[in-house]
Amino acid sequence: MVTSSVQALRDPVGRAEALLKRIRREFPTLSGQLQAIAQHVERHHERLVLHGIREVAEQCAVHPSAVVRFAQRFGFSGYNELRQQFRDSLVLPRPATGTIPPAGRAATATDIAEAVIEASIAALRDLRRDLRGPELCAAVECIAGAQALWLLGSAGAFPVAVSLAQALQQHARVPVQLVHQLGGMHLGQLRGVREGDVMIVVSLRPDARETLESARLARDQGARLIVLTDDPFCPVARQGEIVLVHGDAGTPDSIGQACAMALGHALVRALRPSTGAADAGPAGVAAPARPRAVG
């Protein structure tokens, strides 16, 4: 019998995903130049088929020999073999959908709205295409087994964290805490984090210093971290036990928020069946959890 992991490695898309996962896992051990190449490969792997080694080197501000070393670091003879890995798994881009107004006419509010909506739809389609099932299932199981849930997000990620906290308070059977940095009060809140708790960290570029500080503190106190991020190489992502990636380097802030929101609420919706119906109230909504004091 062929296991699902072996089948994935036989599939070109599965091999490419396995390579990207390995690059993320080994990223902290790479030199500065190889880290720059790793970030470029993560964000632009679908376009490598169009770029030669010199173009990649220029975009990463490294010598072409560093690109060869990067490829060899991950088991390839050189850049062309690495590029072939992603060429085999290439998904052709969708054609543009007419969001540019005719020449000579200024964009109207309707044009702008249509462009934003179409860009959001395209980003969500990319999220669906790139979503990795094992990580999503692991995140759901992690949340389902938590003693308490903590939501963390700063700047543009804060509205996403608020929305997820509200949703989890309706459906989770454990305490749900929203961490906020107003006046440095997050340090007092985080004294209540215990081993067995789970913190969901929402991260949008650029990471706020307080987000990284809070994530490290929660992890040091025994919490498991699930990170929703648009940058799998950011410092916050490296703190996470489970990392779910949405968007890419070129995603505008508002669209990045939409992707993070969709991914986060997918977790909540997937969690609901696993929480069972024993404690459910009307329409399957779980009974409110008993609050836990924050030390």
What per-residue confidence (pLDDT) applies to 63? 92
CATH number at residue 188: 3.40.50.10490
Q: Please count the structural domains in the chain.
A: 2
Domain annotation covers residue 95:
no
| Same-domain pairing of 165 and 278 | yes
Task: Spell out the residues 6+ positions from residue 239 whose beta carbon is closer than 8 angstroms to its own.
Answer: 201, 212, 215, 216, 219, 225, 227
Q: Are residues 82 and 189 in the same domain?
A: no
How many residues does this entry show for the chain?
Answer: 295
Query: Element (H or E) spanning 115, and its range?
Result: helix 109-130
| 76 and 145 inside one domain | no
Residue 244 lies in a domain: yes
Which of 29, 61, 88 represents a domain boundary (last residue)?
88
Same domain (yes/no): 143, 258:
yes
Same domain membership, residue 155 and residue 54: no
In a domain, 18, yes or no: yes
118 found inside a domain = no
Within a domain: residue 123?
no
Distances from the Cα of 164 to the Cαs of 17, 41, 92, 130, 221, in angstroms?
Answer: 28, 31, 33, 22, 23
For residue range 161-212, what is the model confidence (pLDDT) as tens digits? 999 999 998 888 889 989 887 766 777 788 889 999 999 999 887 767 888 8
**What is the rounded distance in angstroms from the CA atom of residue 214 to the CA atom of residue 232?**
18
- Do 180 and 60 sit in the same domain of this protein? no
pLDDT tens series, the chain, 295 aa? 344 444 444 566 678 878 888 888 888 888 989 988 988 888 777 777 778 888 899 888 999 999 999 999 999 999 988 888 877 765 444 444 445 555 555 667 787 788 778 878 888 887 887 777 788 888 999 998 999 999 998 888 889 999 999 999 888 888 998 988 776 677 778 888 999 999 999 988 776 788 888 899 999 999 999 998 888 778 888 888 888 887 665 556 677 888 888 888 988 888 865 544 334 333 333 334 444 544 4
Same domain, 256 and 181: yes
Based on the fold, state whether residues 138 and 26 are members of the same structural domain: no
Full domain range(s) for residue 30: 4-88
- Paired with 141 in beta bridges are none
Domain for residue 154, yes or no? yes
In a domain, residue 119? The reply is: no
**E strand segments, 111-169:** 149-153
Q: Residues 140, 279: one domain?
A: yes
CATH number of the domain within which 63 lies: 1.10.10.10
Please check whether residues 200 and 71 belong to one and the same domain: no
CB 235 within 8 A of CB 201: no
Residue 107 within any structural domain of the chain: no
The token duo for 188 is 């007092």
User: 73, 88, 103: which is the final residue of a domain?
Assistant: 88
Report residue 246 as tokens: 């949405």
Instruction: Return the closest-CA partner of residue 155 out of 212, 101, 198.
Output: 212
Answer yes or no: do 171 and 253 share one domain.
yes
Q: Which of 32, 66, 88 is the last residue of a domain?
A: 88
State whether 145 and 264 are in the same domain. yes
Where do we find the tokens 């990223």?
Answer: 27
